[in-house]
Amino acid sequence: MRSETFPVGPSPTLVLRLGSGSVQVVEGRVGQILVEASGKGEEGLRLEAAGDRVVVAQTRQGLVLPTVEVRIAAPPGVAVEAGLASCDMTISLDASELRASLASGDLRAGRVSGMATVKTASGDVVIDSTGDRLVVNAASGDVRVGRADGDVRIVTASGDISIDWAGGTVEVKSASGDTRVGHFDGARLSAHTVSGDVSVGMAPGRRVDLDVVSHSGDVRLPQPATLPGSAEGEGARAPGPRPEQLRTRLTFRSVSGDFVLRRIGG
């Protein structure tokens, strides 16, 4: 096994350029980044540091890059830049920023407090939470996000999109993949699909402006809320939106996909 330690300052950046294998980024000690590598490709790794920037790059040895397993212990708040080919990556610490490009590997990240940008061909993307803007472009991989406090833009060809909670503007585009937003608490959501279905959950208390068009798909909306204690069948509706109530605009365009708006909580 190969092992090297690099001293870093309070705002370090980790740069990864790997071809085949896997990489794990775990929480380590403040002030240093520890790199451990094993496998046939360990001797071909280039490990270097320039100030707070640590680079882990795989150099070509022959026609095929050998497999290498890399484990990196870094301080919380590290920024991660990754260019990976056939390589899975797991980030289990809180990162300040994430920029990743993957060919066929999967990406799993925990908390990203800053901006996160991910591009992948066939790998899945899972991010627990983001504090700033999230941008994902995927060909056939699925995208799953736990909590998105910032704006979100996700584009896929055939992969499914799942967001548990979103508080900013959400824009999703998918050809055949389905989209689910468990709880939307933002001001604007836009979804465009060819055949993919879209499901959005919202809590009561918002005024919703709907702009929904599906040429052959179904559109299902919740029944209007009724006043507490009103008799069923009387059709008594809750009071209309007050000026201070938040307003949300939902836009959906599809050829054959279904759109479902669900009421949650309340």
User: What pLDDT, in 10s, does the model give residues 117-147?
Assistant: 999 999 999 999 999 999 999 998 899 999 9
- Amino acid found at 14: L
Of the ranges 164-168, 214-218, 249-253, 262-266, which one carries the lowest mean pLDDT score?
262-266
d(CA 191, CA 154): 10
Total-model pTM = 0.89
pLDDT of residue 48 exceeding 70: yes
d(CA 66, CA 18): 10
Angle made by CA atoms 135, 200, 223, in degrees to the nearest 5: 160
User: What pLDDT, in 10s, does the model give residues 92-119?
Assistant: 999 999 999 999 999 999 999 999 999 9
Helix (H) or strand (E) run with residue 173 in it: strand 170-174
Q: Are 68 and 39 in contact (CB under 8 A)?
A: yes
Mean predicted lDDT score pLDDT of the chain: 90
